[in-house]
Amino acid sequence: MSLFDEILAKRGITPENRALFLSPDYAQRHDPFLLPDMQAAVERLVRARQEQERVTIYGDYDIDGLTATTVLLDAFNSFGFAHVEAFIPNRFVEGYGLTIDAIERIAADGAQLIVTVDCGSLSHKEIARAAELGVDVIVTDHHNVAETPPPAVATINPKRKDHQYPFIDLAGVGVAFKLVQALQTRLEGLPAGQEKWLLDLVALGTVCDVVTLVDENRTNVFWGLKVLAKTRRPGLKALMAVAGVRPETVNARSLGFALGPRMNAAGRLETAQYALDMLRATDSLEALRLAQQLDELNKARRAEQDEIFKAAQQQALRYEDDPVLVVSAPGWNHGIVGIVAAKLLEKYRKPTFVLEEMGEEAKGSARSYGEFSAADAIRAADDLIIKGGGHKLAAGVTLKTENIDAFRRRVNEFYRSQQLKDQASLLLPVEDVTAQLAQLSEDLVAEIALLEPFGNGNPQPVLASRSVVVERVRRMGADGQHVKISVAINKVAVDMLAFNAPDHFFVEPGTTVDVWYRVDVNEWNGRRSVEGQLLHLVNV
């Protein structure tokens, strides 16, 4: 059995399902009418189209919400809706999701129907207020929903307990795309097959929202990347150019680490409207201007993030005995602190809350891992907070600044009450296969690439090589924070590179180690060689 066959077997990919996994069949998509309330939503939208009602798409400021908003704007235009607007909340004004103030403004502007994307499943009182004002609401969302759905005309959400849909982990943009597929059965203007041109947006939102890349998500991203390579959208062409992404080689990593951060920077620092305008631009020069603006905002975001991260590390030293890290300070932009929390979690290997103190109130984000739920920790401090919630691994919270110390004690008490064991070990990589260095080749790298798109639920394979000898160690970077080591066995040597490497990666030449890594091809000055992205190293 070849190394690649071993990787497939480890992932449950058998000879019977191999072809379909490696080349997903778009025609095998699920029936959109299996989603709850889809029929009611379609009927209401058909009426809105017939009467040319004023419709507002209510999005969200993250990439999932922005791409979902654009999917519906494009599709509704094709279907012949004449009066459609988009409303993207501002993180620093409205915050996440529907608000009564926003509902009242939209109603005052004459909207007769609101269609939410990526939000709304828990917005009971806001949707009730819309009804009082004579505005119907259709919710399309993928977040957790209450036992009783909100009083909307329809709540399309695969996570509803009464769902019959075969796959529940669609992103918000995936749910919006299913609504488009359903509308194609009733409205003219977007012939069957032409909806595939929306898949560039679906792929972008799906990858950046970190849902599992299996089943329908894998299919949408697989084909969406092919659409993105020849996208018709001037905005995405310009963003790829600014980000240094070549359309012919665009992959899921390009979306998550190049395009996504630039789009998210707009909502983190100022307003996500800039990113929406970029996605919808029709003029190439305007698209380039907007893409360059997003690039500049992303540079500013990274600089501000680095400052917060450095200050947070200093503060973290005070709480080194706490199993949950809670840090806060004035001026830490709460649009950025979630990224900082993720970096602190990676550095200190503990769940982390990072808060911005804004006078009497503090607001921030949490990141967790393993069996510890950030959302449950917030609920355990319910009497200390103003509002909060989210998911197991990522959550947000708002509380009075004077309660931060009490909140820190409470979430740490909650952690200790869980009696969790060996949590830090869950952050260590687990190999798909054990490989000999002599087995690493460009052919293997090409075979592994067939498993793209990589992401949550389908990560890039990890290889392990045992008892290899470190021949050379080279520090790199302005502060010597990166390392390149050359490991060898039986006269075969391979370079391995780690950015922002932990101290124990800087081993002495001659040391025998076990290494865990991902494999790729490095091309430099016309020379190609197989190298590893070093993930973990232990002395033998």
Report strand pairing: 84-87 vs 113-117: unpaired
Distance CA 281, CA 273 (A): 12
Residue 135's pLDDT is 98
What is the reported pLDDT for 206? 97
Lowest mean pLDDT among 243-247, 305-309, 390-394: 390-394
What is the rounded average pLDDT for all residues in the chain? 95
Residue of 137, 202, 200 lying closest to 173 (CA atoms): 202
Q: Are residues 74 and 157 in the same domain?
A: yes
Q: What percent of the chain has pLDDT over 90?
A: 89
> pTM for the whole thing?
0.92
Q: Do 129 and 184 lie in a common domain?
A: yes
Tell me, yes or no, whether 170 and 43 share the same domain.
Answer: yes
Is residue 356 within 8 A of residue 334, CB to CB? The reply is yes
Whether residues 98 and 132 fall in one domain? yes
Given 402, 426, 450, the domain boundary residue is 426
Q: Are residues 104 and 184 in the same domain?
A: yes
Chain position carrying tokens 């609920």: 379
Question: What's the average model confidence in pLDDT over 343-364?
Answer: 95
**Cα(512)–Cα(493) distance, rounded to whole angstroms?**
13
Question: Please, are residues 209 and 172 in contact by the beta-carbon 8 Å criterion?
Answer: yes
Q: How many domains does the chain have?
A: 3
State mean pLDDT over 393-402: 94
End position of a domain, from candidates 176, 193, 210: 193
Residues 6+ away with beta carbon under 8 Å from 437: 465, 468, 487, 488, 489, 490, 492, 493, 494
Distance of CA 288 to CAs 199, 292, 344, 435, 521, Å? 22, 6, 34, 45, 31
- Quote the pLDDT of residue 525: 83
Which of 182, 181, 227 is CA-nearest to residue 201?
Answer: 227
Query: In whole angstroms, what is the distance from residue 100 CA to residue 133 CA?
Result: 11
Check residue 502 and give its pLDDT. 86
Say if residue 91's pLDDT is above 90. no
Beta bridge partners of 434: 464
Q: Residue count of the chain, please give it.
A: 540
| Domain limit, last residue, from 369, 391, 426 | 426
Q: Does residue 151 have a pLDDT over 90?
A: yes
Q: State the Cα–Cα distance between residues 281 and 17, nearest whole angstrom.
A: 41
Of the candidate ranges 286-295, 372-381, 430-439, 474-483, the one whose mean pLDDT is the lowest: 474-483
Percent of the chain's residues with pLDDT above 70: 100
Lowest mean per-residue pLDDT among 128-132, 256-260, 379-383, 478-482: 478-482
Q: What one-character DSSP code corresponds to residue 320?
A: T
Backbone angles phi, psi at 537, to 5 degrees: -150, 135
Query: For residue 218, what is the enclosing H or E element?
Result: helix 215-229
Q: Give the mean pLDDT of 313-322.
A: 96
Does one domain contain both 390 and 457? Answer: no
pLDDT at position 6: 95
149/66 same-domain check: yes
Asked whether residue 303 is assigned to any structural domain, the reply reads no
CA distances from 245 to 248, 252, 414, 469, 537 (A): 9, 11, 44, 36, 31
Q: Are residues 391 and 495 in the same domain?
A: no
- Per-residue confidence band for 240, with pLDDT thresholds at 50, 70 and 90: very high
Asked whether residue 414 falls in the same domain as residue 454, the answer is: no
Structural domain includes residue 96: yes
Identify the H or E element spanning 358.
Answer: strand 352-358
Amino acid of residue 412 = N
Arithmetic mean of pLDDT, 104-127: 96
Mean pLDDT of 328-343: 95
pLDDT of amino acid 160: 93
Is residue 216 assigned to a domain?
no
Whether 295 maps to a domain, the answer reads no
Nearest residue to 6 (alpha-carbon basis) of 354, 422, 436, 417: 436
- pLDDT of 505 > 90? The answer is yes
**Same-domain pairing of 326 and 376:** yes
The pLDDT value given to residue 348: 92
* Helix residue ranges per DSSP H, 270-389: 273-280, 284-316, 337-348, 374-380
Average pLDDT of the segment spanning 491-506: 92
Cα–Cα distance for residue pair 498/161, rounded to 1 Å: 44
Q: Is the pLDDT of residue 479 over 90?
A: no
What confidence category does residue 96 fall into, taking pLDDT thresholds of 50, 70 and 90?
confident
C-alpha 38, offset from chain centre = 25
Least confident window among 135-139, 386-390, 516-520: 386-390
> Cβ(298)–Cβ(266) under 8 Å?
no
Question: Residue 247: which of 232, 265, 266 has the closest Cα?
Answer: 232
pLDDT at 509: 96
Yes or no: say if 350 and 343 are a contact pair by the CB < 8 Å rule. no
Q: Answer yes or no: is 128 within a domain.
A: yes
Helix (H) or strand (E) holding 263: helix 260-269
CATH number for the domain spanning 487: value is 2.40.50.460
Residue 158 pLDDT exceeds 90:
yes
Name the phi and psi angles at 490, rounded to 5. 50, 45
Same domain, 448 and 408: no
The closest alpha carbon to 176, from 156, 154, 149, belongs to: 156
Quick one: tokens of 89?
Answer: 């909340």
Mean pLDDT throughout 248-260?
A: 95
CATH number for the domain that contains residue 400: 3.10.310.30
* Assigned domain for 239 exists: no
> Within this chain, do residues 50 and 182 fall inside the same structural domain, yes or no?
yes
- Looking at the predicted structure, is the pLDDT value of residue 393 above 90? no
Residue 23 is assigned to a structural domain of this protein: no
Q: pLDDT digits over 30-68, tens only?
A: 999 999 999 999 999 999 999 999 999 999 999 999 999
CATH number, residue 132 = 3.90.1640.30
Beta-bridge mates of residue 486: 472, 495
Residue 422, pLDDT above cutoff 90: no
How high is the pLDDT of residue 482?
93
Q: Is residue 274 part of a domain?
A: no
pLDDT for residue 448: 97
What range does the domain containing 100 cover? 29-193
